[in-house]
């Protein structure tokens, strides 16, 4: 190293330190961004996983037999008719 370059480094050490600091920050931020992107991809895969997040109608098809719901349709129809009848009576008064 020549005397001029030694003198330059001594007088501009803050600039060199800032450069090293800047490079350290860039490396740190890029690794943080990569980790965040990987976490987001993992969340999207988890959200799309049908084994964990299955729609309710598919859960009912798998976990409950259809025979349990055959009687419910008739009961629901009777309840609807009674509600309609009550509404008609209430409106007539």
DSSP code, position 64 = S
First to last CA, the chain: 106
41 plus 1 within the same structural domain: yes
44 plus 58 within the same structural domain: no
pTM of the model: 0.41
68 plus 91 within the same structural domain: yes
Walk along the chain (93 residues) and give the pLDDT tens digit of each residue.
677 777 877 777 777 888 899 999 999 999 999 999 999 999 888 877 777 777 777 777 777 666 666 677 788 888 999 999 998 888 887
3 plus 42 within the same structural domain: yes
Cα–Cα dist 6/13, whole Å: 10
Can you give the residue range of the structural domain that contains 60?
54-93
Cα–Cα dist 36/38, whole Å: 5
Contacts of 60-64 with C-beta under 8 Å, sequence gap 24+, read none
The C-alpha angle with vertex 39 and arms to 43 and 47, in degrees rounded to 5, equals: 5
71 plus 29 within the same structural domain: no
């Amino acid at each position: 190293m020549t005397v001029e370059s030694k003198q330059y480094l001594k007088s501009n050490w803050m600039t060199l330190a800032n450069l090293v600091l800047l490079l350290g920050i860039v490396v740190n931020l890029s690794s943080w961004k990569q980790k965040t992107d990987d976490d987001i991809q993992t969340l999207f895969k988890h959200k799309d996983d049908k084994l964990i997040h299955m729609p309710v109608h598919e859960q009912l098809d798998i976990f409950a037999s259809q025979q349990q719901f055959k009687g419910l349709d008739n009961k629901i129809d009777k309840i609807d008719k009674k509600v309609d009848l009550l509404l008609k009576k209430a409106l007539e008064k």
